[in-house]
Structure 1
């Protein structure tokens, strides 16, 4: 299931939202030449992100395909339902973003996994802790990122 050596970075969202945190991370992945898959079990979240990624800031363009788009496999950014059939296939992306408790599944070719979780929701924190333990057991290299008072992200573990 896991790929030993893949990094898994946990982003503890306490101040910033997914809408504020996700696009800059995806943009950095594209700058590296990586393809990215964004996975969530929430169809509403995916529909929202489908529009948000086009317009998150005026000078940015994050080319992507939504969860129901058959051309999605060709896009540098894919939005995928965590329960969908593509979620159980090889990812074909170097970056995997997990939202709303989505799990990683098959990781062939994945360099880095990003787990974004809402630190204001105890259920999300508990789930992230379970994912951390599973990541370590799977041979992944977990790191913990928390937002500082000045709004920057700091790797603390």
Structure 2
């Protein structure tokens, strides 16, 4: 991947991670991007794995997790680690997961629950670090209908 990494912050207010993550992953795949979703624990990875199999009856979101093996074959890879085993262009950080090096990602996306004070504090800290590193950052917040509005 060439060019500068964009860092997005998605502030959940009216919908949950489980409601928004599948659509964000679908959009990433539509762009031709592979994705990594980094969660905070193996248990959370397994919960997200089940979500992506069952979130909608009429569609299939190709994905795999650590336990499935062959990460390089997965368009969407779920993990609690900080590697990029499927050569993803976009990395989603959920449940407080963090990434020290943005590497060659086109985009790193922090998704955080606006009703969780600790999550908001972590997101503010990550914003400050990204700005300090000179990365392009943007902040998105949900409106009442659940649509994303760019706020900063």
Q: Is the structural similarity TM-score above 0.5? A: yes
Task: Please tell me whether residue 104 in structure 1 is matched to residue 103 in structure 2.
Answer: no
**Does residue 134 in structure 1 map to residue 133 in structure 2?**
no
Aligned to 1:51: 50
Distance 1:79 1:88 in 2: 11
Alignment of 1:1-150 (within 5 A): 5-82=4-81, 87-88=82-83, 92-150=87-145
**Residues of 2 paired with 1:65 and 1:98: CA distance?**
16
Matches of 1:27 and 1:94 in 2, distance apart?
14
CA offsets 1:81-117 (integer angstroms, 9 cap, x no match): 13xxxx2467621110001111123333311111110
Unpaired segments ≥5 residues, structure 2:
none
User: Given the two structures, how large is their TM-score scaled by the length of structure 2?
Assistant: 0.91
TM-score, length-normalised on structure 1? 0.88
Secondary structure (helix, strand or coil) at the match of 1:149 reads: coil
Question: Residue 150 of structure 2 aligns with which residue?
Answer: 155
| Cα distance in 2 between the residues matched to 1:88 and 1:64 | 16
Aligned residues between the structures? 151
